[in-house]
Each structure stands twice: as C-alpha cells, then as structure tokens.
Amino acid sequence: MPQATPIPSDVVARIARVEERGVNATLAFEADTVLQQARALAERPETTALDGLALGIKDNICTLEYPTTCASRMLEGYRSPYEATAVSRLKAAGGIIACKTNLDEFAMGSSTEHSAFGRVEHPLVPDRVPGGSSGGSAALVAAGAVEAALGSDTGGSVRQPAAFCGVVGFKPSYGRVSRHGLVAFGSSLDQIGVFASSVTRAASIVGVISGRDPSDATCRDLDPVQPALERRDLRGLVVGFPEEYFPADLDPAIRAACDKTIRALRDAGAAVKAVSLPHAALAVPCYYVIAPAEASANLARYDGVRYGNRVPSHELFALYRETRGRGFGDEVRRRIIVGTYVLSSGYYDAYYGRAQIARGKIVGDFAAVFDDGVDVLFTPTTPTLAFKAGECVEDPIAMCRTDVFVCSANLAGIPAVSLPIGRSEGLPIGGQFMGAALADELLLDVAHVVEGLIDGAEEAR
Ligand code: GLN
C-alpha cells in the first residue's frame, strides 16, 4: 500500500504548531527523539510498510521513547521498562513514535477534561471538547499533525472522539490486537484502536499491529486484520439500522446526516433494513458497573509500593491512603469506589452479577441480528455534537450518556468504526458501523466503500 513519506522535520513543526495554539494534545514530544528515529530509519536498507509515518501514541500505551503517565499524577514521570507489542510492531514496520497523546486520566472519561495535565481543546472549535478518553490522539490526527494515532477503546474512547473531531476511528474485535503494554482499565473490554484521516490508512496501521501475540493470553491465535479494500459497491450487503439507536431526542443534524448515509448505502446497492436490539438500553448501566469493577481491581497495584509515585509515611496504611488519595483524580477515585462497592459481598449479586446477565443479553441481541443475515449495523456514533468544555464535567451521569451508542460494541467484543458523515455548524458528525465478532475485514471493506460515497465535510440538513 503506498504511503506518503512525511519529512520528519515537517512533522516536528506540525505538532509544535498545534501545541503552540494551546490544544494540549501531547503529554510528551521531543524533536530530537523524532529526528533520531527518522535518521535510524533512513539508514535501513529495506523499504518498510509504514515508511516513516509519524504516529501519536495514547499515553496509556507503554513506549521506550517517552514516559507513560496515563495522564495521572500517580504515574507522572514513569518510564516503562518495556514497550507495547503494538508499538514495537509499528516501529518494526517503519513508523515513527512522534509523541504521547493526552487522555482522560487512566482513560476514564468522554471529554479529555479529566487529564491531570489539563484538558485538550477541540482542534476546530477551541471552546468545545474533542471527546475522550483518547482526545489527544483524535485532535492531533484531525489537525493534520500526525498521520495516524493509537488510542484505547474500553467503552467508546476511540470512536467517540473520532466522531467529535471528524476523523476515522476503528476499534477491532476483542482479541485481534494484543493488549500487552496497554495499561489495563477494564480487561474484558479494553482494545487498542486506531485514528487516521482515511479508512485505507487506518487499515494499514491495524494490519501492522494486529495478529497473535504470546504475551497476551486474550489475544486470539489469528492472522493480522488485512482487508482487501477492493469492493467498489455494496451490492449483496445487508445493513441493519437498530431502531433503539435513533431515539426521538437524537440531535436533528445527526439524524439528517444518518438519513443521508442510509440513502447513499441504498444507492450503492445495499439492502438497508430496520432491526431491533431490544436490550440496547442496558448497555450504559451495564458498562458503568463492569468497567469500574474491573478498574477497581486493575488499579489496586498503584499503592506507592508496587507501582505509583509514593507519598512517604512512617506507617504503611497511611502510605497507601496518601499515595492513592493524592495520586488519583476525582473521576478515577469515583470509579474505584463504585467498582469496589459493586464487587463487595452483599452487593455483588445485585450489581456485578446482574450486569453480567445484562451483558449476556446484549451479546445475544447482536448475535441474533448477525445470525439473521445482517452483515453490518449502522448507527450514529454519538447522540450529540462535540459539547462545550465544562458542560458535562460536573455531571458524571450526563458524561456517561455520551457513550450510549458506543459502549455496547465493547460489551459484545465486536468490531466497530466511526466515519465522518457530515458537519453541523462546523462541528463534525460521526456514523458508526458495527460488525459481527472477528469480522473486522468485512467491516473495514464496507467502511472503505462508504467513505467514498459520503462527503464528511458537507453540512447536514
Ligand atoms: N467514556 C467511557 C468511560 O468513561 C469510555 C472510556 C474508554 O473507552 N476508555 O469509561
């Protein structure tokens, strides 16, 4: 696949320009580190798949070039002794690790306002949020500072910011990309995903990072995701649109952009039909029990002894209390408290146990439509456009609602992609396609055709 070779000094200038504007999308970025990698690449005799492509890496993915902080005081300055499998594969394929990108602390949030190192501005409209939790990655790709970026998607954190910023965001099926070196949040939900300005570019990155990895027991013994991207139309394809994802209070511009997309799908030969995912309303409450439960267990290691910046004390319990009390921000503390509560004896059955039952029903809904001949599902990615900074940050319930269309794919482990499908008053609108588990190739093939049918920059009306 041909790739544009960026001039590394230009990459440095592009990232610097975005950061001079105060977007705050990077947490680590050094010109020398970028240029050194570029020089080493230039000396490699063989040509490489990614050929000097500049990449942003979300700062909850371990790198050797830069610290890995998860945008938390707890890990400020932390340098991982190893790098993520996805990162070493990108480097081996000729990618340049240009910078680490800002995120909601430990990837918990939907606006990148929960970073301990300051919020990320929307790249087009500074008083709006870029979405989250991978807001820095989305903003940098949208601003044209890097060619592609990695994010993590536990409950929508690649697709929702991709929609808000107007870029492509792909979350692979659970198990298609190694999680080795991704700092764990919700281990049954977490996947590394990709941001790029086109499906072709996103697919080329996924092709590099995916595939079996003995270092991650949850990574499937499968070949890398390699879509052909040769399909020219959608003839023979059945696209379902789940009624539950088009509620009465959906933003009218988003509805208009979705209607236009559905017309384009039909014109390209797809059979488009209404379907039902009857347990869709359980997704957000189910996610906000399971994700915090898993997070509370995963974040127990940050105690100032095993991991995390220690607040010294003469007494062990005080050391734990001070380290965790000062190291974690409000949102992370809230999740740990909720997660500990739903797992505690006496409440386990009422919350965690019931959430697992709900998860089973959500998985069953998706399996039923895909077994019934539907190839892919189409939905809006978000119920609203990028909201104003400060609008949801004091209201955790309002923040959760922004995940209403995206977190079900994580609960079901299925692949999903958000594409730009229009704009409203300059703000991007995302459309989401979801596929059956492990049907990542088909999903990307379809997304590639759809991208050619729709002008993502056109005003929706
Ligand atoms: N917004 C969701 C949350 O706050 C999803 C986060 C994610 O995917 N990392 O948990």
At 345-374, the pLDDT tens digits run 999 999 999 999 999 999 999 999 999 999
- Nearest atom in ligand 1 to 287's CA: 10
Mark whether 157 is an active-site residue: yes
Angle at 61 between CA 143 and CA 83, to 5 degrees: 120
Q: How far is the CA of 108 from the centre of ligand 1 (A)?
A: 5
Check whether 79 has a pLDDT greater than 80: yes
What confidence category does residue 298 fall into, taking pLDDT thresholds of 50, 70 and 90?
A: very high
Contact, 60 vs 107, CB < 8 A? yes
- Nearest atom in ligand 1 to 160's CA: 1
- Nearest atom in ligand 1 to 331's CA: 4
What confidence category does residue 6 fall into, taking pLDDT thresholds of 50, 70 and 90?
A: low
Lookup result for tokens 């501005």: 121
CA gyration radius for the chain?
21
Q: How far is the CA of 160 from the centre of ligand 1 (A)?
A: 9
Mark whether 133 is an active-site residue: yes
- Which of 288, 338, 403, 405 maximizes ligand 1 atoms within 8 Å of its Cβ, making it the mutation to test the pocket? 403
Return the pLDDT at 4: 46
Q: Which of 58, 91, 171, 260 is catalytic?
A: 58
Residue 461 vs residue 235, higher pLDDT: 235
CA 369 to chain centroid = 25
Check whether 168 has a pLDDT greater than 50: yes
pTM: 0.97
Q: How far is the CA of 249 from the centre of ligand 1 (A)?
A: 22
324 three-class SS: helix
7 three-class SS: coil
Q: Which of 152, 157, 408, 418 is catalytic?
A: 157
What percentage of the chain reaches a pLDDT higher than 90? Answer: 93
Angle at 432 between CA 426 and CA 434, to 5 degrees: 170
Lookup result for tokens 């965690």: 352
Return the pLDDT at 2: 43
Q: Which of 88, 115, 133, 210 is catalytic?
A: 133
Contact, 192 vs 157, CB < 8 A? no
252 three-class SS: helix
Q: How far is the CA of 92 from the centre of ligand 1 (A)?
A: 30
d(CA 364, CA 362): 5
Contact, 264 vs 450, CB < 8 A? yes
What confidence category does residue 460 fall into, taking pLDDT thresholds of 50, 70 and 90?
A: confident
Q: How far is the CA of 328 from the centre of ligand 1 (A)?
A: 16
Mark whether 187 is an active-site residue: no
Rounded mean pLDDT of 12-21? 97
Give residues (CB < 6 A) around ligand 1: 107-110, 133, 152-157, 185, 291, 403
Give burial (CB, 10 Å; 0-12/13-18/19+) of 12. buried
Sign of the alpha-carbon torsion through 381, 382, 383, 384: negative
Mark 172-191 as b/e (b = at least 16 C-beta within 10 Å).
Answer: bbbbbbbbbbbbbbbebbbb
- Tokens read off for 450: 């759809």
Smallest CA separation from ligand 1 atom 10, residue: 108
Check whether 3 has a pLDDT greater than 70: no
In 295-443, the DSSP E strands lie at 376-380, 416-424, 427-435
